[in-house]
Structure 1
Amino acid sequence: MNQWRQVFFRRVLTPHLEPDLQWAWNSLQIGILTFFLLPTWGAILIVLSVLVTLKQRFWQVIRQPINQVLAVFSGVLVVFSLGSPNPGDAFLGLCNLVPYFLVFAGLSALIQTPNQLRQISRLIVFSIIPITGLGFGQGFLGWSGIESLQMISGWILEPGGSPPGRISSVFIYANLLAAYLVVGFALSLGLLIEQIIQQIWMNSRLKRHSMLKFEPSKLPNKLSISGLGITVIFATIGLILTNSRNAWGLMVILAMAYGVYVGWNWLVMGAIAGVMLIFAAAFAPPFIHQPLRLIVPGYFWQRLTDQNFERPVEILRMTQWKFAWGLTQARPWTGWGLRNFTPLYEAQMNIWLGHPHNLFLMMTAEIGIPLTLVFFSLVGWILVRGVWLWLSWPKNSPDRVILFSFLIGFTSLILFNLFDVTLFDLRINTLGWLLLSAIFGVVLHFQSPTQQQSQLQP
């Protein structure tokens, strides 16, 4: 047992720069590794890592200006919740935000280096194949979960998917699986491209003449490239089978972003050609779309045109957005309180709806315009700092790809929330805060005086 434990800690986990944070870092790594398949157990480990870090770096955390702003932000949210028409729902809604401010504070102090980003990316990507595999079984073989194991696993498979015909795997709805796979696609493709670039440089025997310096542990091998390639394929097929138009579009955008970044014009042109072909089959005049529909699978163009779906006015996104904006106009300063969109919409439309399928509009309706602008300004400021750091690194830095993958992975999740809301799912909400914390943690580390006067330490 001890031997297996030693192998696990040596081969799976990575060391932390600061020895006193090693336990917290180990807890976070194991937590991420298990989180998407066993969310309850993974969440416990992630929370432990946050609490230990907050204890070890208490003064550093409370002196960080952005954490101070979030503390004040939390206090204002509490006050606004007291004035909500449904205070109970509003206070319950705080659970989807306020605890994550502590998660952000702790993880941004714990995560500091590109190596940690790389490790986090690997751990997130690890779950893609088993999760999509379960989705394939659910969609094609009618697999269902064992109810007695739900207390342990935290999920149960719905035969045929949720909703039927769209795989959802270990998530309660297909769109949540799509959100996870969008981020997983971004991270796995980033790891794969990083490995391919290194392999090309090695094979061409230019390593000694290049300014790039790779540690032996970071040199690629064909097995890791093959594994990442298979993972990207699984993520791609999984995204297609979620039948999420939102996710399809983001997958194409991500592929094009990487194509532009590494100069793979064939990937960019292929993505553009594929999109144009599908859109022409869906929306072009009959003399164009009729022959194209013989080539393009109906699975794609029928989904774009909603040909196989009934769309009552009450569940159209435009209807939801107009209602949310109406709520915003009625109470623009304080909003109606978190989680209050649902009862208000149900009272008006006689249909239950969990959210208005747009995070920004939901927040303006529920917490008011000023707080929403403050919140998104903070997130945007962190992203800008991350992009600025990425631009400041030399173009031949081996760590640029991994930071780029985190930046576009988080951005894709934000874009996903323009047409959906993932705030209410434990795993996707945590994933978003994990990515944001990691970006900010690396920014803080490299702005420190000791790092400003030294070269990147991969």
Structure 2
Amino acid sequence: MARTDMAGEQAYEGALSEDGKAGKARFLWRDRLWLGSLVALPYLSYMALVVMLGLFIAALVRRGGQVMGACAQRGFGWLAAGMLLSACFAIDKGEGFLQLTNFLPFFVMFGVMATVPSVVARPFEKLEFLAHWLLVSSIPMSLGAIAEFIIKFKAISPSVKALPLPDWLIAYIYEPDFGHRAHSFFGHPNMLSAYLAIVLGLGLGLMLKALNTRRNDTIAWMQGAALLVCVVSIFCTGSRNGLLISGVLIAIALYAARRHRWVLLCGLSIGAFLVSAAFAFGIGGRSLSLALVTQDPRLGVWRLAIEMIQQRPWLGWGFSGLRQLYIPGSIPEYDVIFHAHNFWLFLASEAGLPVTVAFCAVIGTIYYDGVKVYLNGGLAALKGGDRAILLGYLLAFASCILFGLFDVAVFDARVNLFNWGLVAAIYILSRSALPKPD
């Protein structure tokens, strides 16, 4: 099979030469539509998804063989077959097949994103540009989360509710009651936290590049401000998972920037702020105590998922199996449980252990290739700042992996799309370091 990046370069050059300026204009418009839809996705989700669906179909028409080749090369075909087989034995076959839409279309979307010709031809330039806009465009989301957190203080919320505001706005802010937690444009604080953690990883990569290239311009300061606001807004989501992820990502970034002492001091200051805020305000209105761990309902859900795995280890119970088998009230105060609140337990209990191992192998090898390129200096021929961009994407996807320890994000199409976009980006960046054939 031909190298994907070489095919992308040829397609890119062909598109630029096709009909001269007209071909170039059409190519640039497709790039702009991809960028615009990804940036707008957290805010105008339905509109952005419609645009991306059109781009998805157009990509399959123009380079369907290349897309399917990339998917087959990485083993997504076998993985899809395993999931389809599991769905055939689901206790609710209709729901089992329906929930495959959280996976199978995204396998193909990986192939589409991994073969965008302009990105394959100039991966670091294009993906740095994308990371910049995802970071900067998150500022309104972050500021909204901070504002929402403030007006949910018990001393402030009665005054806000008394204002002559539309009923739908009051309901959107305070209902459903997530406690002292911000959800902004997302349906749940945890999904907002998952999105912001991705942005945090990308932003840290951009900041590391600015340090490595000694860039000190307006754009660098804007990125730094957006990154700081992002960290504060993650705290405002009240997500323990989000705070843990933030600490891990910042620690890795500080280690990468250990030569810059002032950066280390800034990072430690941010860490001190998060810890102090957690002690002062709690996490999502919950005071810090061992009860946050020992009385977490996730523990009971995990036990149920493990029992399901023991009973049907090979094919699982089918997607939605836990919800179908759950007896209301088995976990106090919960009449329904939708998933296992751990991605690997969710996948193993509902699709079976073989599918789980295959999924980890397919995604894990792509991520491993990226980490290997970063650690082994495979980018020596490239500018030093490009290595930081790769690290940013690795950190962003690390946030997805860590988030999967305590929650499942595949049910939010926006976060799911970003997750698969990160996998495709790491695939492209790691392959760009391979020597090209003469």
1:133 to 2:133 alignment: no
1:323 to 2:304 alignment: yes
- Which whole-Å CA distance do the structure 2 matches of 1:299 and 1:318 have between them? 21
Equivalent residues in 2 for 1:30-429, closer than 5 Å: 30-64=36-70, 66=72, 69-110=75-116, 111-112=119-120, 113-141=123-151, 157-159=172-174, 163-198=178-213, 200=214, 220=215, 222-263=217-258, 264=260, 296-299=279-282, 303-305=287-289, 316-346=297-327, 349=330, 351-390=335-374, 391-394=377-380, 397-429=384-416
- Structure 1 residue 348, shift from structure 2 partner: 7.2
Percent of residue pairs bearing the same amino acid type: 22
Change (3 A) 1:260 1:234: same
- Structure 1 residue 223, shift from structure 2 partner: 1.4
Mean Cα displacement is larger for which, 427-436 or 78-87?
Answer: 78-87
- Structure 1 residue 445, shift from structure 2 partner: 4.3
- Which whole-Å CA distance do the structure 2 matches of 1:69 and 1:162 have between them? 42
- Which whole-Å CA distance do the structure 1 matches of 2:371 and 2:38 have between them? 25
Contact 1:24 1:50 in 2 (8 A): no
- Structure 1 residue 304, shift from structure 2 partner: 3.6
Change (3 A) 1:271 1:231: closer
- Aligned partner of 2:427: which letter? F
- Structure 1 residue 128, shift from structure 2 partner: 1.5
> Which structure is higher in RCO with an 8 Å CA cutoff and minimum separation 6?
2
CA RMSD of aligned residues (A): 3.2
- Which whole-Å CA distance do the structure 2 matches of 1:114 and 1:437 have between them? 13
What do the CA deviations read for 1:147-189 (whole angstroms, capped 9, x no partner)?
989xxxxxx8433885121011011111111111111111122
- Aligned partner of 1:366: which letter? E
Equivalence for 1:11: none
Equivalence for 1:432: 419
Secondary structure of 1:398's counterpart equals helix
- Structure 1 residue 72, shift from structure 2 partner: 3.1
- Aligned partner of 1:412: which letter? S
Contact 1:61 1:67 in 2 (8 A): no
Aligned residue pair count: 394
Contact 1:108 1:440 in 2 (8 A): yes
- Aligned partner of 1:373: which letter? V
* Structure 1: stretches of 5+ with no match in the other structure: 1-15, 150-155, 201-219, 282-292, 454-458
Change (3 A) 1:312 1:172: farther
Mean Cα displacement is larger for which, 232-241 or 42-51?
Answer: 42-51
Contact 1:162 1:168 in 2 (8 A): no
- Structure 1 residue 62, shift from structure 2 partner: 2.8
- Structure 1 residue 364, shift from structure 2 partner: 0.3
Secondary structure of 1:409's counterpart equals helix
- Structure 1 residue 121, shift from structure 2 partner: 0.7
Secondary structure of 2:405's counterpart equals coil
- Structure 1 residue 411, shift from structure 2 partner: 1.1
Mean Cα displacement is larger for which, 298-307 or 235-244?
Answer: 298-307
- Structure 1 residue 435, shift from structure 2 partner: 0.6
- Structure 1 residue 372, shift from structure 2 partner: 0.6
Equivalence for 2:154: none
Equivalence for 2:4: none
TM-score under structure 2 length normalisation: 0.80
TM-score under structure 1 length normalisation: 0.77
- Structure 1 residue 270, shift from structure 2 partner: 7.4
- Aligned partner of 2:140: which letter? P
- Which whole-Å CA distance do the structure 2 matches of 1:304 and 1:318 have between them? 18
- Aligned partner of 1:317: which letter? R
Contact 1:104 1:437 in 2 (8 A): yes
Mean Cα displacement is larger for which, 348-357 or 113-122?
Answer: 348-357
What do the CA deviations read for 1:269-296 (whole angstroms, capped 9, x no partner)?
77679879998x9xxxxxxxxxxx9x95
Change (3 A) 1:123 1:162: farther
